[in-house]
């Protein structure tokens, strides 16, 4: 389809970071523009490519990365900090309002810190060899990178170099996803997309890991070489993270979320931590309360329990491997807890929220990486007599449309009294 060149006035930034302008046939989404700007764009339906900025916004700043606009990893490096922060806070307010939830939303907490401590690079083999980098916006094309300024110093230029080296060592023609994580013992690399590897290839990869000075190298979570402890500081504990396992994007972000969770549980003496991962909130809460952790990933639970045994000064910690999507903790199991923390994946925790709504737990603290599913779960809790008393957005995914948040719920006294009368 032929793209038509149009002059457009940008009205706002959409939920994923694209600018939204009014086109001849409705809203048009265009990357790289800002509210109030008059632009020339090549329009194709509801999408457009920015051709030029005819009248720039005073909020426009120079992007810190030379690949901005080509690499799809960042959407908003060109926007000044204050309006950017207000926009991210507004994403949370919009989703709450859409779900009929009224609650005070605090200002956005900056939590980028030194940068992201994990990167997933994509590798594709072409006629000229391996190309490794990040995907271009809205395509599967690879934008090769030599360095990335939003990563922690240990990863900024090392992650692309190491990802390319392990791709070349593994070989084959399949597209690869290469996850590189900074740990106290060095870089931890997990390769996805290849499938099982032969004994000969394992030896080659092991030698590559030693040559690169990696802490660990795995393929689809299968450890090929383990040369140093892959420890990550999690509150008061040092956790040996599983290969390819989940980790909060930034250390400062985890600290910010952890502080908000502790504030939310207050003086609780018995806490359930659901979707606990390797324990970023378990260990912080266990400094003041006994904690039961539930998590679907058995390796994460094993890592959590191992760290709990090795950490002094904590209240008792128990843990179980449990699929909380299929088998949430029900009201009878929740009865002994003063507070519940839950931190589900982006899909949210609908089943667990429904079970919590039927419980008598006085306080629930929800951590989320998706404002939409958080608001949906908040509406479920509200239907069970919970009031959302505070919401704080946290920005550890700098320059993106992703926003973390922590919400604290309290069981309404009237609802509690009614349930006692009925029960």
CA 120 to chain centre: 13
Which of 128-132, 215-219, 367-371 is the least confident region?
128-132
Q: How confident is the model at residue 413 (pLDDT cuts 50, 70, 90)?
A: low
- If 0-12 CB within 10 Å is exposed, 13-18 middle and 19+ buried, where does residue 312 land? exposed
Question: How big is the chain, counted in residues?
Answer: 423
Please report the pLDDT score of residue 137 as a whole number: 82
**Which has the closest alpha carbon to 159: 113, 102, 115, 112?**
115
Return d(Cα 386, Cα 356) in angstroms, integer. 9
The yes-or-no answer to whether 4-60 and 118-229 have a common fold is yes
Is residue 227 over pLDDT 60? yes
Pairing of strands 4-13, 38-44: antiparallel
> 292-315 pLDDT, tens per residue?
999 999 999 999 999 999 999 999
% of the chain exceeding 90 in pLDDT = 89
4-60: CATH class: mainly beta
> 345-385 pLDDT, tens per residue?
999 999 999 999 999 999 999 999 999 999 999 999 999 99
Is residue 80 over pLDDT 80? yes
- Residue positions annotated with a catalytic role: 369
Average pLDDT taken over every residue of the chain? 94
For residues 161-194, one letter each, b for 16 or more C-beta atoms within 10 angstroms of the residue's C-beta and e for the rest, the string is: ebbbbbbebbeeeeebebbbbbbebbbbbbbbbb
Q: Please report which helix (H) or strand (E) contains residue 376, including its range.
A: helix 371-383
What's the token pair of residue 178? 């290469």
Mean pLDDT, rounded, for 229-236: 97
Which are the contacts of 79, defined by CB distance < 8 A and separation ≥ 6? 13, 34, 59, 60, 61, 87
Please report the pLDDT score of residue 416 as a whole number: 47
Strand order in the sheet with 109-110: 109-110, 386-395, 404-411, 363-368, 339-342, 270-274, 290-295, 317-321
Is residue 421 over pLDDT 80? no
Which are the contacts of 278, defined by CB distance < 8 A and separation ≥ 6? 232, 234, 239, 241, 242, 245, 246, 247, 300, 303, 304, 307
Please report the pLDDT score of residue 24 as a whole number: 79
- What secondary structure letter does DSSP report for 234? E
DSSP string across 142-188: EEE-S--TTB-HHHHTHHHHHHHHHHHHH-SSS-EEEEEEEETTEEE
Q: Which option is the CATH number for 85-112+247-422: 3.40.50.920, 3.55.40.20, 3.40.50.150, 3.50.50.60?
A: 3.40.50.150
Is residue 1 over pLDDT 60? no
Please report the pLDDT score of residue 29 as a whole number: 96
> 139-157 pLDDT, tens per residue?
888 999 999 999 999 999 9
* Structural domain spans, the chain: 4-60, 85-112+247-422, 118-229
Q: How confident is the model at residue 418 (pLDDT cuts 50, 70, 90)?
A: very low
Query: Is 0.85 topped by the overall pTM?
Result: yes
Is residue 61 over pLDDT 70? yes
Q: How confident is the model at residue 420 (pLDDT cuts 50, 70, 90)?
A: very low
Query: Distances from the Cα of 405 to the Cαs of 118, 160, 368, in angstroms?
Result: 20, 30, 5
Q: How confident is the model at residue 23 (pLDDT cuts 50, 70, 90)?
A: confident
Please report the pLDDT score of residue 281 as a whole number: 98
Please report the pLDDT score of residue 4 as a whole number: 81
Report whether 390 contacts 407 (CB < 8 A).
yes
Return d(Cα 231, Cα 292) in angstroms, integer. 22
Query: Distances from the Cα of 328 to the Cαs of 102, 325, 372, in angstroms?
Result: 27, 6, 21
Domain 118-229 has CATH 2.40.50.1070: yes
Higher pLDDT, 128 or 165: 165
> Position of tokens 């290839």?
201
């Amino acid at each position: 389809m032929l793209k038509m060149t149009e002059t457009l006035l940008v009205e706002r930034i959409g939920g994923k970071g694209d600018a939204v302008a009014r086109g001849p046939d409705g809203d048009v989404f265009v990357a790289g523009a800002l509210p109030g700007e008059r632009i020339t764009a090549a329009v194709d339906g509801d999408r457009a490519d920015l051709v030029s900025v005819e009248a720039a916004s005073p909020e426009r700043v120079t992007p810190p990365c030379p690949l901005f606009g080509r690499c799809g990893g960042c959407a908003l490096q060109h926007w000044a900090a204050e309006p950017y922060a207000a926009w991210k806070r507004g994403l949370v307010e919009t989703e709450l309002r859409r779900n009929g939830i009224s609650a005070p939303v605090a200002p956005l907490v900056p939590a980028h810190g030194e940068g992201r401590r994990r990167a997933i690079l994509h590798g594709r083999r072409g006629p000229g060899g391996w190309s490794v980098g990040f995907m271009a916006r809205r395509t599967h094309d690879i934008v090769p990178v030599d360095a990335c300024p939003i990563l922690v110093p240990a990863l900024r230029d090392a992650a692309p170099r190491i990802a390319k080296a392990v791709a070349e060592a593994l070989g084959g023609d399949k597209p690869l996803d290469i996850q590189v994580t900074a740990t106290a013992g060095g870089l931890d690399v997990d390769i996805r997309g290849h499938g099982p590897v032969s004994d000969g290839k394992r030896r080659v990869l092991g030698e590559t890991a030693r040559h690169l000075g990696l802490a660990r190298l795995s393929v689809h979570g299968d450890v090929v070489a383990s040369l140093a402890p892959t420890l990550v500081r999690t509150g008061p504990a040092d956790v040996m993270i599983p290969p390819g396992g989940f980790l909060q994007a930034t250390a400062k972000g985890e600290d910010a979320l952890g502080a908000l969770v502790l504030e939310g549980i207050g003086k609780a003496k018995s806490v359930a931590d659901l979707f606990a991962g390797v324990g970023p909130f378990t260990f912080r809460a266990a400094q003041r309360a006994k904690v039961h952790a539930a998590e679907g990933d058995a390796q994460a639970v094993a890592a959590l329990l191992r760290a709990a045994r090795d950490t002094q000064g904590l209240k008792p910690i128990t843990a179980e491997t449990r699929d909380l999507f299929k088998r949430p903790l029900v009201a009878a199991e929740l009865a002994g807890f003063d507070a519940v923390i839950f931190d589900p994946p982006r899909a949210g925790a609908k089943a667990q929220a429904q079970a919590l709504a039927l419980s008598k737990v006085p306080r629930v603290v929800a951590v989320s990486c998706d404002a939409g599913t958080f608001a949906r779960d908040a509406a479920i809790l509200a239907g069970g007599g919970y009031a959302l008393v505070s919401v704080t957005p946290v920005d550890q995914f700098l320059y993106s449309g992703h926003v973390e948040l922590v919400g604290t719920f309290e069981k309404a006294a009237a609802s509690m009294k009614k349930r006692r009368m009925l029960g």
